[in-house]
Structure 1
Amino acid sequence: MSDLEKAAGLLRSRRDAIGAKLAALVSGWGKYAAPYAADPAGFAQTETHALVDYIALLIETGDENFRHLYIGEKAKQFHDLSIDAEEKRAREAVLLAGEREIFTAELNALPAARRAIDAAFDVIEHALTAEAVAEVKALFVGDCLYLDVISFLTAPALTDGVRLRPRFITSHDAVEIKSQIGKLADERFDVIFYSPFTYAMLSDYAALQRPRALASPGKMAGDVRSAVAAALDIFDLLADLFDCPIVAHAPAPILREESGLVQRLGAIGTRSFRKRACTQLGTALRTRAAQRNDKGQVVHILDEAEMAGPAGIVAAGRYLARFDLQHPAMFGAMIAPFYRDIVMVVGRLLKRKLIACDLDNTLWHGVIGEGLGVTQHYDRQAPLLRLKARGVVLAINSKNDPAKAVWEAEAGRLSLDDFVSRQINWDPKPMNMRRIAQHLNLKEKDFVFIDDRADERAMVEEQLPATLALDALDPRSWRLFDLWADLLPAKPGADRTEFYRQRDARQAFIAVEAETGEQERRAMFSQLGLTLKIREAGAGDLDRVADLINRTNQFNMTGARVTKRQVEELAAREDAWVLIADASDRFGSMGTISVLIAERDKGRLTVPIYVLSCRVFGYGMEFAILEEARKLAVPGQAMFGPLAETPFNQPCREVYPDAGFVPAEGGWLRENAERAPIAVESWLMIDSTIPAPDAARRHAPV
């Protein structure tokens, strides 16, 4: 018997004593103090005995699943909304150091086992405490499946630079689930995961798993209908309340392993009813997802049978371990890679705006400059086209001869014209990335760089650390791009390629025509044909309103962030206005470039939110929009513009004083706002449909 096998046996033989020591480490925590004081031995049996077995199994078998399970239990222990981040970090450090000491002390006589414990805790501590590049706040609505998933997801997500901040709703009662969801309505989540049936999420579905249900086939049919209806109600509530992507399971009739003969026979007998419920719900969820996605929401369906893979749903239900409170099944490990990809996209890709692509051995196989022909990677190019259609812009960053790096694209395939910026030369790629950023007025945090060469990726990451560099030779990179497209809303006109072409033409005109004098500047801008249409937002505009507010940093007076539901509530109020401005010129439309929200507050006309896209800086549009808002003031009413300085909003800080406002607590004030207009540049043609303040208003239905 090896030292590691001896150590595993020793730990199991000392389970009660070690479990008691581990339990004592958390006995003073608020959420554990009462149950520990009431029954220390019982508390240890339910909360910490499993930890001893996980460590024993880890050093005995080397199976990393048991390390993941240990990490998952720690993540659940550390999940405590009643403490702040500093106290949480202190708890993590003290507890993990204490647990390491307890286990190593038990194995003093077995040096190899002590080394194995130290190595295991090095990984465990890193997974639970290391700094991450991004955080993802996720809401998990489902049975204890999600407690299993967290175990297998925490460490791999951190490898991707993402720290997961989970929130769980695991009740089996549909009414209670909806109540808990409602209480979270004002919270912002980055993603919501919803598993309606697995393993026995809803009580009506759980009833279909019981052998005695076979005595009442009619009741089972009713339970099928009730379970499906309850699951859909919960889905609709989630989709109505939250703006973030929702990832929902199309369920499979997975049943956790049963050892008794009666239970096994019952599982066989009830399978047809469980399968019927899963099929009906899966079909209904896909229909609802398509309807929601058509309206600009994001619902992504995961098929449980597909995720179980070749092993199948029977293997998915097998237990990895089984204790009083911990009973992880294989399905948690099976689906964790799918969840890891989603968390990676949400945390590190979803808010980025541009992909800079290498060419040779990235978009095609071969070196195009050699003149020997290349083989196009259409499978890689397809997700790029999908992302382009959903608003992500494409650029080229390639060491190549620009005269040779050209290709004839078939209809519907990726072409040279799909790239808004092309840096094809022999310069260092970090230099080219900066040129692309300057050309498109984007920041390095907006960029993804994909290249087949590790040295090129390393140079870009070193010099532009906020840029995400991906390996073109890793199939996962392209899988992430495909998923990124799935998790972006499909909206008409999202493709921004033409917008950047128009922008280049506009800037070229300005560069050619510009003179140093004010008179020449006015003449030049007049030739642009700048038109500004200002109106109240309608129901179809509210997604764009929320998106523009949340994505604007430089001209955002208060650094505001909103949910779509908050925008809908503002748009429905009689004492508030959600104004939007669309800009265009001789080169084409610039789209919706500004949102200004005004409301009557404490006798004043207040502007709590005012944002303007950086693509129209310099044209004076900010004053024209502010002037239309000023007209909403009634006689004698002051207009107040709050200003909260952020690290990014320097460009907008002088707008209020330049518009005749004076300093006031928390911002800028214009007394008797209706008396004097705000000056608007003569080169702007204003088309405003904002009603007079005393006119009857009809809000768009929301």
Structure 2
Amino acid sequence: MRTNHRRSTASAVKQHRAALVTALGRAQPLEATQPADLIDMIAGHLEGRPELGQLYVGTRAFLAGDHELSRDEAKAQVCEAIERDGEIIAEVLEAAEGLVCAGAFRAAFAEMTRSVRSETDQHVRTLFIGDCMLVEAISFLIGPLAGEGISFNSLPANARSPELLAAVLDSMAESEFDVVFFSPFSHARLPEIGALLDPKRGFTSRKALRELVDSILAQTEPMLEFISERFDCPIYVHNASLVQRGSGVAKIAAKELFTAWSRTLARERINQWVSDYIEHKNRATHRHLFLLDEEQLADRWGRRALGHAIFDSEHQHAVELSRRVAEMYVDRIATISRLRSKKLVVCDLDNTLWDGVIGEGQVEPLEARQRPLAELRHRGGVVLSIASKNDPKNVHFEGSLLTEQDFVAPQIHWGPKESSIATIRDTLNLQTKHMVFVDDRPDERERVAEAFPDLLVLDACDDTTWRRMALWAELAAGSSEVDRTRMYKEREQRNAFVQEGSSKSRVSVVDSGTL
């Protein structure tokens, strides 16, 4: 939809807001202010804020979803509620503005909600433990993950009392999860965190601040112990960004000014404690705790920007931090869903593992891409291979992190890459559903995907590919004691030896017969 049409539709929605809120509230059982929230989110999306479209989809899913239903039934119920919203709004706009406005709205609304109606072929059993910040983050998750064909468990365990939270988790004793996210230091989980963020408290004593942080850690450690012992799946533990929330830059800046000293000292101590705990626990048990680093977000986006309110109402208080945390969740859930079970990565070379075409001159190794592959190969038991259209005499790995010895059954020739992948598959005796193919060229990816529908095909030029490769490498590190690359290379050597021996025997027989 053109930008001017979208904006005129947004103006119509805002102009008739009262009528739309009344119609939406009359048609569906919602709390008094919730229809207004939904209308405002839709209007914000139409004005050019796509994050509010995501928030609408997630909020609507929470309001309409029923966790007692099966996944398919719950999804159908959510889609029905969203379609009903769209029709109610379109009918009001048609009566007030005419068919053109209603048609423009229907098109924009269908585009905004397309992801949640997408078919999902993967389900990740997720558990979110924390406070209302997780509810905000989950609202931003539903649409993007559905767009990737992934569903997940969206109900968080957000009891603030440690005793009540332990009871909730105890009730899940028979449940199995693929991943757990635990946010122990978000703004409303513990009153001590609230005290750190309260500009009226203004800690001036190191002793008082130390005692406050001691209390936070004393309450957090038993919960971490409980969670890490209860669940064997990957557990992502947030550290503390201690972001100040607010609806305006000036308000956030004032809060930061009065709490800067105490937040900085508390954050440094808490985050060091979390890192030490994860390292110690993994060493003492097995590697299943991973850091979800909110400080990375602060460094990238700015602490003040993360506290800015995206939407603020009685029922929804989403801030930028929630949206950025959701992006981290999307990457991790998608990695677990799509990559974690794979056994082989087949890579193109030119403009994939290095910058440039090696047959045309000097190339520059892309270390940021090669590093996760090297970690997967050396620490995760994942096998690497090559499918490249090149003259093998030109190919070398000088100056690269990876070497020729890191690849098994490489296919470097001018033939179709579909044939190369078939050869690799047959040589290694692997099904293509256990393989990943990475290439920079859309035409090559399209042909390979068409030839092997169950093969995961990734774009080498998409940063998401390498970000998730790095997450996969982190999950896979130490998970396999078998060096599969060495195993396959030894098999290749044995096969070559046998073939050479057979060839010599045939020559000997022929020579004897001739004599």
Q: TM-score, normalised by structure 2?
A: 0.86
- What is the CA deviation profile of residues 528-566 of structure 1, one whole-angstrom value per residue up to 9, with x for unaligned ones? xxxxxxxxxxxxxxxxxxxxxxxxxxxxxxxxxxxxxxx
Q: CA deviation at 1:55?
A: 1.8
Whether the 8 Å CA contact 2:116–2:147 is kept in 1: the answer is no
Instruction: Report the equivalent of 1:580.
Output: none
SS at match of 1:208: helix
Q: Distance in 2 between matches of 1:378 and 1:6?
A: 49
Q: Distance in 1 between matches of 2:116 and 2:397?
A: 50
Note closer, same or farther for the CA distance 1:421–1:263 as it changes in structure 2 (3 Å cut).
closer
SS at match of 2:125: strand
Q: CA deviation at 1:357?
A: 0.8
**1:351 maps onto 2:341 in alignment:** yes
**1:315 maps onto 2:310 in alignment:** no
Note closer, same or farther for the CA distance 1:273–1:373 as it changes in structure 2 (3 Å cut).
closer
Instruction: Report the equivalent of 2:154.
Output: 166
**1:464 maps onto 2:452 in alignment:** yes
Match of 1:10 among 15, 22, 47: 15
- What is the CA deviation profile of residues 33-81 of structure 1, one whole-angstrom value per residue up to 9, with x for unaligned ones? xxxxxxxxxx53243331122123233x221121111011022124432
Return the letter of the residue paired with 1:496.
R
Q: Distance in 2 between matches of 1:73 and 1:113?
A: 25
Return the letter of the residue paired with 1:380.
R
Q: CA deviation at 1:233?
A: 2.3
Q: Distance in 2 between matches of 1:289 and 1:126?
A: 39
Instruction: Report the equivalent of 2:372.
Output: 383
Return the letter of the residue paired with 1:461.
A
Q: CA deviation at 1:213?
A: 4.4
- What is the CA deviation profile of residues 372-391 of structure 1, one whole-angstrom value per residue up to 9, with x for unaligned ones? 33332233222211110111
Q: Distance in 2 between matches of 1:394 and 1:93?
A: 41
Moved more, 209-218 or 103-112: 209-218
Query: Which structure is higher in RCO with an 8 Å CA cutoff and minimum separation 6?
Result: 2
Instruction: Report the equivalent of 1:643.
Output: none
Aligned pairs for 1:383-402 (under 5 A) are 383-389=372-378, 390-402=380-392
- What is the CA deviation profile of residues 272-297 of structure 1, one whole-angstrom value per residue up to 9, with x for unaligned ones? 33443332221111112223444541
Match of 2:61 among 48, 67, 75: 75
**1:45 maps onto 2:32 in alignment:** yes
Q: Distance in 2 between matches of 1:512 and 1:310?
A: 57
Note closer, same or farther for the CA distance 1:258–1:200 as it changes in structure 2 (3 Å cut).
farther
Aligned pairs for 1:480-629 (under 5 A) are 480-491=468-479, 493-506=481-494
Note closer, same or farther for the CA distance 1:341–1:265 as it changes in structure 2 (3 Å cut).
closer
**1:227 maps onto 2:209 in alignment:** no
Aligned pairs for 1:354-503 (under 5 A) are 354-370=344-360, 372-389=361-378, 390-402=380-392, 404-407=393-396, 409=398, 413-491=401-479, 493-503=481-491
**1:182 maps onto 2:170 in alignment:** yes
Q: CA deviation at 1:462?
A: 1.0
- What is the CA deviation profile of residues 422-481 of structure 1, one whole-angstrom value per residue up to 9, with x for unaligned ones? 122232212221221121121111111011111110011111111111122223322221
Match of 2:324 among 320, 334, 348: 334
Return the letter of the residue paired with 1:66.
L
Note closer, same or farther for the CA distance 1:46–1:507 as it changes in structure 2 (3 Å cut).
farther
Instruction: Report the equivalent of 2:231.
Output: 242
Instruction: Report the equivalent of 1:21.
Output: 26
SS at match of 1:192: strand
Whether the 8 Å CA contact 1:319–1:327 is kept in 2: the answer is yes
Q: Distance in 2 between matches of 1:289 and 1:173?
A: 23
Q: Distance in 1 between matches of 2:445 and 2:10?
A: 43
Whether the 8 Å CA contact 2:381–2:480 is kept in 1: the answer is no
Return the letter of the residue paired with 2:490.
Q
Note closer, same or farther for the CA distance 1:408–1:56 as it changes in structure 2 (3 Å cut).
closer
Q: Distance in 1 between matches of 2:251 and 2:103?
A: 46
- What is the CA deviation profile of residues 320-359 of structure 1, one whole-angstrom value per residue up to 9, with x for unaligned ones? 2222111111212233332222222111111111100112
- What is the CA deviation profile of residues 516-539 of structure 1, one whole-angstrom value per residue up to 9, with x for unaligned ones? xxxxxxxxxxxxxxxxxxxxxxxx
SS at match of 2:342: coil
Q: Distance in 2 between matches of 1:180 and 1:395?
A: 46
Q: Distance in 2 between matches of 1:8 and 1:293?
A: 53
Q: CA deviation at 1:127?
A: 1.9
Return the letter of the residue paired with 2:36.
H
Instruction: Report the equivalent of 1:287.
Output: 276
Q: CA deviation at 1:102?
A: 0.8
Aligned pairs for 1:57-96 (under 5 A) are 57-59=44-46, 61-96=47-82
Return the letter of the residue paired with 1:436.
I
Moved more, 191-200 or 386-395: 191-200
SS at match of 2:218: helix
Whether the 8 Å CA contact 1:305–1:312 is kept in 2: the answer is no
Q: Distance in 1 between matches of 2:77 and 2:134?
A: 23
Whether the 8 Å CA contact 2:213–2:270 is kept in 1: the answer is no
Whether the 8 Å CA contact 1:366–1:374 is kept in 2: the answer is yes
Note closer, same or farther for the CA distance 1:79–1:441 as it changes in structure 2 (3 Å cut).
farther
More helix by share: 2
Aligned pairs for 1:265-304 (under 5 A) are 268-294=257-283, 295-304=285-294
Percent of pairs identical after alignment? 31
Q: CA deviation at 1:221?
A: 4.2
Q: Distance in 2 between matches of 1:440 and 1:120?
A: 48
SS at match of 2:340: coil
Note closer, same or farther for the CA distance 1:315–1:490 as it changes in structure 2 (3 Å cut).
same
Whether the 8 Å CA contact 2:252–2:307 is kept in 1: the answer is no
Note closer, same or farther for the CA distance 1:505–1:199 as it changes in structure 2 (3 Å cut).
same
Whether the 8 Å CA contact 1:224–1:274 is kept in 2: the answer is no
Whether the 8 Å CA contact 1:399–1:427 is kept in 2: the answer is yes
SS at match of 2:266: helix
Q: Distance in 2 between matches of 1:362 and 1:167?
A: 39
Return the letter of the residue paired with 2:272.
T
Q: Distance in 1 between matches of 2:264 and 2:167?
A: 28
Note closer, same or farther for the CA distance 1:503–1:11 as it changes in structure 2 (3 Å cut).
farther
Instruction: Report the equivalent of 1:154.
Output: 142
Note closer, same or farther for the CA distance 1:210–1:15 as it changes in structure 2 (3 Å cut).
farther
Q: Distance in 1 between matches of 2:420 and 2:212?
A: 61
Instruction: Report the equivalent of 2:505.
Output: none
CA RMSD across the alignment = 3.0
Q: Distance in 2 between matches of 1:363 and 1:356?
A: 11
Q: Distance in 2 between matches of 1:312 and 1:417?
A: 42
Moved more, 192-201 or 287-296: 287-296
**1:107 maps onto 2:93 in alignment:** yes
Match of 1:137 among 109, 116, 125: 125
- What is the CA deviation profile of residues 243-269 of structure 1, one whole-angstrom value per residue up to 9, with x for unaligned ones? 22222222112122178x999877644
Gaps of 5+ in 2: 503-515
SS at match of 2:156: strand
Return the letter of the residue paired with 2:67.
L
Q: CA deviation at 1:497?
A: 1.1
Q: Distance in 1 between matches of 2:396 and 2:209?
A: 61
Note closer, same or farther for the CA distance 1:81–1:511 as it changes in structure 2 (3 Å cut).
farther
SS at match of 1:359: coil
